[in-house]
Amino acid sequence: MTVHPAERRRHWQEAHDLLLVYRETKGRPPRLGDAPGAALAAGPQRALYLAVDSDGRVTAFNGHVDLGTGIRTALAQIVAEELDVPFDRVAMELGSTATTPDQGGTIASETIQIAAEPLRQAAATARRHLVEAASRRLNRGLAELVVEAGTVRVAAEPDLGVAYGDLVRGPRVELDLDPDAPLKASADYAIVGRPVPRVDIPLKATGAWTYVHDVRVPGMVHGRVVRPPAPGVDSVLGGLLLRVDEASVAHIPGLVAVVVEGDFVGVVAEREENAAEAARCLAATWRSFDGLPDLNRPEAALRGNPAKARRLLDEGDVERALAHATARLDRTYVWPYQMHGSIGPSCAVAAFEDGNLVVWSGTQNPHVLQSDLALLLDLPEARIAIERHEAAGCYGRNCADDVAADAALLARAVGRPVRVQLTREQEHAWEPKGAAQVMDVRGGLDAEGGPAAYDFETRYPSNGAPTLALILTGKVAAAPAVYPMGDRTAVPPYAFGNARVTVHDMPPIARASWLRGVSALPNTFAHESYIDELAIAAGIDPIEYRLRYLDDPRAADLVRAVAERAAWVPHTKPGTHGGARDILYGRGFAYAVYVHGPFPGKAAAWAAWVADVAVNRVTGEVAVTRVVVGQDSGLMINPDGVRHQIHGNVIQSTSRVLKESVGFDATGVTSREWGSYPILAFPQVPEIDVLMLPRQDQPPLGAGESASVPSAAAITNALFDATGIRFRELPLTAEAVRAALNPPRIAGPDAPPRRRRGFLAGLLGAGAGALALATTLMPWRPAYPSIERPDPAAYSAATIVQGRLVAAAGACLVCHAGPDRASFAGGRGIETPFGTIYASNITPDPVAGIGAWSYPAFARAMREGVSRDGHHLYPAHPYPSFSGIAERDLQALYAYLMAQGPVAAPAPATALRFPFNVRPLMADWNALFHRPAAIVDPARSPDWNRGAYLVEALGHCGACHSPRNALGAERRGAARLAGGFADGWEAPALTGLSRAPLPWTEDDLFAYLRSGRSARHGSAAGPMADVVASLGPLPDTDIRAMAVYLASLAGPVPAPRPESAAAVAPPGASSLFQGACAACHEGGAGGDLVPLGRVTSLHSAHPDNLIQAVLNGVPAAAERFTNPDPSAPPAAMPAFRDTLTDGQVAEVVAYARARYAPGAPAWDGLEAAVARVRALKPHAGL
């Protein structure tokens, strides 16, 4: 735990033995979206920048924070250098509002370039003071003194010196920062400009670092939020919530509160997993929203978005030049919505104490967050402290501030410290996206092949993304503000002569805010693609062409250096790199200087790329194989850190260009996990050759984003070189590239999906007809008189034990389990085509249960399906099977049930659709279908006969595994055990009709029934997992007998399987499968999973079980079974119900089928099947 911020603040304000350097500014720094004059209106600010203590330790304070870029290390280098203390004597305190200066948000690569300057001056101020103090103490002139490692020495007398700490001891001394304090010459640098290992990594590599996710406060409880069903669309929030049903989470242990304020909904529980479960279960009813325009292909939506044109540049005469152009090139470039994609979803902890709020947060804007929370909670800013801890890298504005506000609201509501962790789905859905962008260029060539004019327009629908809780609670209107941030690097770097640059400022459509390379990356995609197009049109090498119009000498130096490093071969046509078989090779160039900050902005580091690509012309897959990247960053404080940033920028931007595009539907974001938003993984990482220009004598420039900026154009230019095709819309997915390389010759509409006749309609129609024809025979049977509940003591212990085994073999609990999942209190709804049938209470309660039933009444119900009072039971109760139960087993079962504790709660009444709700008709049904028959074959082994009894009678396997006819009766003969459905799950064929890819042997069946898993076929899930769990008490001999019998059903010949041509993986699905499933199903991260190619459900005629598994997950063996297979993996399959859309599940399922059951035909109508299975209540399990 960190020291409380108020205590730290008091320490720095009051303690002695300190030398402190303060700086006073007229107002706070301007903020994005500020009202005019707001910054100055904040009044004078006096803030601490540096402290030296009596041990000679230095603490330096900076309002900017480390987003994983290593500025904690780089800033400490700057301080150590200027103060002449060893690097390890300097500690940085970053971003805590209680102690650090407000220097604005950590954005736009400003930290080293701008925010570090006062720190350097503060260190110089302190150094001068200390040297002067030493001069007095040592009685020597200033010129005689040198500073070495925090000790001021007399140069000529090496033994004479005084340490900083000794000079500081005594009353505290507060200095004002002197902007004129002399700075060290860069030539004298000994710490700055040299590689220094990052200070945080040893702690991070051992689990000893405290990320915001790791903050624990005494008494802390856990919160989760529930967001409205408009994922990632903040402009429609407010008034969406209709009601919240708190009873829906009453079953959650340790639930502390359900908190609702406007559209803000949160839950708090003592334990984190219970808070997560409460958020999952909370029934909230919202007004629906489905008005989002198509943002998957965002061009039309952006053009239709209201905008205000802002002219940034107008030189020469563009219209005249265009009129005289010898060749016109008008182009449009489109950038997709993208995500920051922090690996750790945002998290925060908030605690109120005596009316003061402390929030531990991963924010990049601590002081802005402080203001936001003041507004949200009606608290003065002085009562709010933001303690900044590192979080997962954010690369811009993610949900860090949102979750901080969520935590504050929940902490206020429950009066205890609350930690809130967003889910992966929430971070993906709600993080303010990097906006889509549309860039238009009008231009062309003049008579000499030069650029005639450059008329550039850009559209960037984004703002600062107000903190969600402010909108959800109604503190801030949802109407989106317009931020003028589309202008970053909008002015091209080339001297075009006639040039015009216009930015269309516009509000966001989906929630959007800054993402690394804010608007500059897309703008440069256009600039650097276009100049390549011009060069090729002019018949001039693209690099040479650029150099003609690049009048910035440092830029030209960099371009030449990178071209030379990459051994660039000038060329004027595509295709110079050739190819081999299906692979085409290409090479492209791009350059940019990242101009950031409000227009006209400041230039950060210069960067240039040469990218090599390989393209598979058949599949469309693009690989970036090598990048030569050069950067001129001026003085590099920590060259290792700069190199690291360049690597990161190259990889992240390559990922964005090749793969990344947020998916939307009309309600909002559909990319809510890593499968539907894939990012570059290790196998696709290019070789990267970094060239850092030595400019240590020049001022330092921001290096956190620059190397991203040329990426898109370098790669698309390389793709043009490889294929001769220009890609002006990103990302370069295999589907997009394949489509461009192989345009369809006949564009026909896809065959309309085959409409299946309504399954229920068909059944009901047939059933009603058949029933109408049947004559009513004995509609009612006599009642057995009620009895006193039999005394369990009347039965021997052995009988009751035997009854327990019978109940286990009959899996009674699978249907009759009560809400506690242990008693036989019933109430579970069993979905049938005829309606929901509720299992009855079979505990010995005389009213609600069967306590008043005599044994004959019980036996009749079991064997003939007639209740004690004479009414007919529905054949969901499998009395046709039970008719074969041996008398002694039935008696033992009766004894066992009567020995259970009575439960007085009645089960819900079953209400079926007409005509199935007419119970007397069941008599007709029985007349038609009830054919009690025991299977006995004296020619077979005793095991076989025992197995037949357990499978056919007691186990009533046919109740699920036999198909049923239109009236719900099990079919017999060849159809017996040929596969059926139960509770929304397919019960596959147990006969020769099984589609399992490997035949089920007796040993396979034994393993499966005993442990719930066969390594050759897969794991039991859904209702079958309950059956296996129920069979737990049976001895191995009984399980073996069942296996013997079942194995005999398949017959000696392997089941014939329909063959079809090897299916082709559907386009686009592989990346979803790769991101969502492959880590466990191909990479082993879940343990020894049964290979998907062997899993029966992938080979079935019905996709239902696979869909069930994807939507609802599969519990781990250890969760479900008393005797789990020791080799079963410990992991459960996660449920993707709340993560993937129907279309995405269909995509994954289709891909898995095509890939792992290549001989089987593709499943039809998958999306509808997913919707159907989703609508079923998930199987609850025992």
CA distance 126 to 20: 8
Rounded distance, CA 115 to CA 108, Å? 11
Query: Cβ 1075 to other proteins, closest distance in Å?
Result: 6
Helices 797-809 & 1022-1030, crossing angle to 10 degrees? 160
Element (H, E) at 353: strand 347-353
904 binds other proteins (CB under 8 A): no
Of 68 and 466, nearer to other proteins (C-beta) is 68
Two structure tokens written together for 714: 């370098």
Q: Which of 100, 463, 523, 649 binds other proteins (CB under 8 A)?
A: 649
Q: Which of 762, 1051, 1087, 1091 binds other proteins (CB under 8 A)?
A: 1087
Q: Residues near 288 by Cβ (< 8 Å), separated by ≥ 6? A: 229, 667
Long-range contacts, stretch 260-264, CB < 8 angstroms, 24+ apart: 261/409, 261/472, 261/473, 262/238, 262/472, 262/473, 262/474, 263/228, 263/237, 263/238, 263/239, 263/471, 263/472, 263/473, 263/474, 264/225, 264/406, 264/409, 264/469, 264/472, 264/473
Confirm if 299 and 438 have CB atoms less than 8 A apart: yes
Contact status: 1177 vs other proteins (CB under 8 A): yes
Q: Where are the beta strands (DSSP E) in 886-1027?
A: 980-982, 985-987, 1013-1014, 1018-1019
Contact 463, 480 (CB under 8 A): yes
Please report, as a single letter, which amino acid is at residue 65.
Answer: V
- Looking up tokens 């900044």 gives 388
By C-beta, is 389 or 504 nearer to other proteins? 389
- Residues in contact with other proteins, shown as a per-residue x/- string from 343 to 362 under the rule CB under 8 A: xxx-----------------
- Among positions 373-412, residues that touch other proteins (CB under 8 A) are 390-393, 395
Cα–Cα distance, 1154 to 1170 (Å, whole number): 17
- Shortest distance, position 1131 Cβ to other proteins, whole Å: 4
Q: Which of 33, 63, 113, 120 is nearest to 595 (CA)?
A: 113
User: Which amino acid does the sequence have at 328?
Assistant: R
Q: Which is nearer to other proteins, 1063 or 1078 (CB)?
A: 1078
Structure tokens at 1086: 């879940």
CB of 242 to other proteins, least distance (A): 9
Taking alpha carbons only, the member of 281, 243, 278 closest to residue 263 is 243
Q: How many CB atoms lie within 10 A of CB 443?
A: 26
- Candidates 598-606, 953-961, 1129-1137, 1145-1153; binding stretch for other proteins (CB under 8 A): 1129-1137
Kindly tell me which of 340 and 527 has the beta carbon lying closer to other proteins.
340
Using CB under 8 A, which of 1139, 1148, 1155, 1163 touches other proteins?
Answer: 1139
Q: Which of 114, 162, 252, 848 binds other proteins (CB under 8 A)?
A: 252
Q: Using the rule CB under 8 A, which residue among 1065, 1080, 1101, 1168 binds other proteins?
A: 1080
Q: Which of 131, 623, 928, 1118 binds other proteins (CB under 8 A)?
A: 1118
Q: Shortest gap between Cβ of 901 and other proteins (angstroms)?
A: 15
From residue 996 to residue 1015, the character string flagging contacts with other proteins as x (rule: CB under 8 A) and all else as - is: --------------------
Smallest gap from residue 271 Cβ to other proteins (A): 7
Q: How far apart are CA 528 and CA 919, in angstroms?
A: 77
**Shortest reach from residue 239's CB to other proteins, in Å:** 15
Give the angle 309-311-314 at the CA atoms, nearest 5°. 145
Site for other proteins in 64-103 (CB under 8 A): 67-70
**Is 648 a residue that touches other proteins (CB under 8 A)?**
yes
> How many CB atoms sit inside 10 A of residue 1036's CB?
10
Q: Provide the minimum distance between the beta carbon of 1134 and other proteins in the complex, in angstroms, as a whole number.
A: 5
Neighbours of 1127 (CB within 10 A): 12
219-238 binders of other proteins (CB under 8 A)? 222, 226, 229
Task: Name the pairing type of β-strands 241-245 and 283-286.
Answer: antiparallel
Run of H or E residues at 308? strand 308-315
State CA 687 to chain mean position distance: 28
Name the CA dihedral angle for 203, 205, 211, 215, rounded to a multiple of 10 degrees. -70
In the region spanning residues 258 to 297, those forming contacts with other proteins, defined by CB under 8 A, are 271-274, 277, 280-290
Q: Which of the residues 676 through 705 are near other proteins (CB under 8 A)? A: 679-683, 685, 688
Residues 653-672 close enough to bind other proteins by CB under 8 A: 655, 667
Nearest approach, Cβ of 73 to other proteins (angstroms)? Answer: 9
Distance CA 560, CA 490 (A): 24
Cβ of residue 371: shortest distance to other proteins, in angstroms?
A: 26
Per CB under 8 A, the list member of 178, 640, 831, 869 interacting with other proteins is: 640
CA distances from 139 to 127, 131, 132, 154, 161 (A): 17, 11, 10, 10, 11
Give the shortest CB-233-to-other proteins separation in angstroms.
12
- Integer Cα distance of 518 and 397 in angstroms: 11
Containing 840, the helix (H) or strand (E) segment is none
Is residue 907 near other proteins by the rule CB under 8 A?
no
Q: Does 2 bind other proteins (CB under 8 A)?
A: no
The residue among 677 and 727 lying less far from other proteins, judged by its C-beta, is: 677
Stretch that binds other proteins, among 149-157, 339-347, 456-464, 1062-1070 (CB under 8 A): 339-347
Contacts of 682 (CB under 8 A, 6+ apart): none
Strand partners, 593: 606
Residue number with CB closer to other proteins (724 or 1178): 1178
Q: Which of 172, 310, 324, 647 binds other proteins (CB under 8 A)?
A: 647
- Between strands 829-832 and 835-838, the pairing is antiparallel
With contacts defined by CB under 8 A, how many residues of the chain interact with other proteins?
109
Binding mask 1037-1076 for other proteins (x = CB under 8 A): --------------------------------------xx
525: Cβ contacts below 8 Å, ≥ 6 apart:
333, 335, 439, 712, 713, 716, 730
Residue 261 beta carbon to other proteins: minimum distance, rounded to whole angstroms:
18
As measured in angstroms, the least distance from the Cβ of 292 to other proteins is: 12
Out of 553, 749, 1052, 1083, the only residue in the binding site for other proteins (CB under 8 A) is 1083
Min separation Cβ 215 and other proteins, Å: 10
Which of 634, 663, 675, 731 touches other proteins by CB under 8 A?
675
Binding mask 196-215 for other proteins (x = CB under 8 A): -xx-xxx-xxxxxxxx-xx-
Quote the least distance from Cβ 1163 to other proteins, whole Å: 22
Residue number, 166 or 272, with CB nearest to other proteins: 272
| Per-position x/- string for 811-850, each x denoting binding to other proteins as judged by CB under 8 A, each - no binding | --------xxxx----------------------------
Name the minimum Å distance from CB 852 to other proteins.
26
Smallest Cα–Cα separation from 623: which of 515, 737, 540? 737
Judged by CB under 8 A, the chain residues 416 through 435 that form the site for other proteins are: 421, 423-424
Q: How far is the CB of 431 from other proteins (least distance, A)?
A: 12
Closest listed residue to residue 695, CA positions, set 630, 637, 634: 634
Tokens 């304000």 identify what position? Answer: 13
Q: 172, 324, 617, 644: which one contacts other proteins (CB under 8 A)?
A: 644
Residue 207 or 938: which CB sits closer to other proteins?
A: 207
Nearer to other proteins by Cβ, of 148 and 1119: the residue is 1119
Stretch that binds other proteins, among 46-54, 104-112, 771-779, 1126-1134 (CB under 8 A): 1126-1134
